[in-house]
Structure 1
Amino acid sequence: MYLRRAEMRDLPQIETIIQDGKELLRAQNIDQWQGNYPDTKVLVDDIQNGHTMVLVDHNEVLGTAAVIPAPDKSYTGIDGEWLTKDDHYVSIHRVAVSAKHRGQGLSGKLFDAMFAEIDKAATVDGIRIDTHPQNKGMQHVIKKMGFTETGHVQVMTDGENVTDFAYEKYNHQQVPAHVE
């Protein structure tokens, strides 16, 4: 099992995994990803911009997420306070794992692999993420992976502003010297 940047040939598997995520959220009566977002255009843009990472085993994509370098327009305003005070962060969006392999700890493996990749960038001090207030499963994963809740952010989804919980974690074991 390994992490790599997605290629356009991965798009069908990524779309299936995103659809799996939408169906799981719908089954839990969570109003997240229930419209068009994330749609094929967003996923293609992520791949073409080199943002999509995929967790792969034997040529099968098991999980996917977009790792986006700062500045992230979703995170320009926060009702709260980020841990890092500059643009030395990356954002993680559109995290999903295959329904065929649910219950195998793939979310943790995906995050661990992304953290290892992000850690190679010495200029990245913080890792930011957000999720819907009703998405208790993702909140659990985010907290388990060492993120701290920092407040609320307004994100645009399917043409509406949605208030999500915001989280951040330091990329390195120690607090960066230039963080206030």
Structure 2
Amino acid sequence: MYLRRAEMKDLSQIESIIQDGKKHLAAQHIDQWQGGYPNTNVLVDDIQNGHTMVLVEGYEVLGTAAVIPAPDESYQVIDGEWLTRGDNYVAIHRVAVSANHRGQGLSGKLFAAIFKEIEEHSSVKGIRIDTHPDNKGMQHVIKKSGFTSTGTVEVLADEQTSVHDFAYEKLTRAGSLVNAQ
């Protein structure tokens, strides 16, 4: 099992995982990803911009996440306080794992591999993420992965709906060293 940047050939597997994620959230009565987001255009843009990371075993994509460099529009205003200042962070969005492997700790493995990649190839000080207030499963994975709750951010789900997601940040080694001084 390893992490790599997604390629266009992975799109159908990524879309399938996202669709499974939407169904899983709907089955739990969580109003996240229940509109048109994330759609094919968003996923294609993520891949073409080199933001999508996939956890792979053999030829199978087990999990996916978009790791996007700052600044992130959703994170400009927070009801709370980020651990880092400025734009020295990356944001993780659109995290999903294969329904065929749910319950095997893949989200934690995906996060661990992403953290390792960030530490080895970046000097950012923080990693930010948010999730829907009703998504207790993702909140658990986020906290277990070492993120600190920082407040809430407004996410525009569509033109009519806004959601105040729970926001989290995790310091990288670079961020921990700066904050320790």
Unaligned 5+ runs, structure 2 = none
1:29 maps to which residue? 29
CA distance in 1, matches of 2:15, 2:122: 32
1:156 maps to which residue? 156
CA distance in 2, matches of 1:108, 1:13: 20
Of the structure 1 ranges 156-165 and 78-87, higher mean CA displacement relative to structure 2 is found in 156-165
Runs ≥4 in structure 1, deviation > 4 angstroms?
Answer: none
Q: Note the C-alpha offset of 1:122.
A: 4.2
Matched pairs, number:
180
2:117 maps to which residue? 117
**Structure 1 vs Structure 2 CA RMSD:** 1.5
Amino acid at match of 1:102: R
Unaligned 5+ runs, structure 1 = none
CA distance in 1, matches of 2:114, 2:99: 20
1:98 maps to which residue? 98
CA distance in 2, matches of 1:104, 1:178: 34
Q: Tell me if 1:175 matches 2:180.
A: no
CA distance in 2, matches of 1:9, 1:179: 43
Q: Kindly indicate which of the two structures has a greater share of residues assigned to helix.
A: 2
Q: Note the C-alpha offset of 1:80.
A: 0.2
With normalisation by structure 2, the TM-score equals 0.95
Q: Tell me if 1:107 matches 2:107.
A: yes
Are 1:15 and 1:40, in contact at CA under 8 Å, matched by a contact in 2?
A: yes
Amino acid at match of 2:58: H
Are 2:84 and 2:175, in contact at CA under 8 Å, matched by a contact in 1?
A: no
Q: How does 1:1-180 map to 2 (within 5 A)?
A: 1-159=1-159, 160-172=161-173, 175-177=176-178
Are 2:125 and 2:174, in contact at CA under 8 Å, matched by a contact in 1?
A: no
SS at structure 2 position matched to 1:11: helix
CA distance in 2, matches of 1:51, 1:179: 30
CA distance in 2, matches of 1:178, 1:103: 35
Amino acid at match of 1:177: V
CA distance in 1, matches of 2:174, 2:145: 13
Q: Note the C-alpha offset of 1:158.
A: 2.8
Q: Note the C-alpha offset of 1:7.
A: 0.4
SS at structure 2 position matched to 1:120: helix
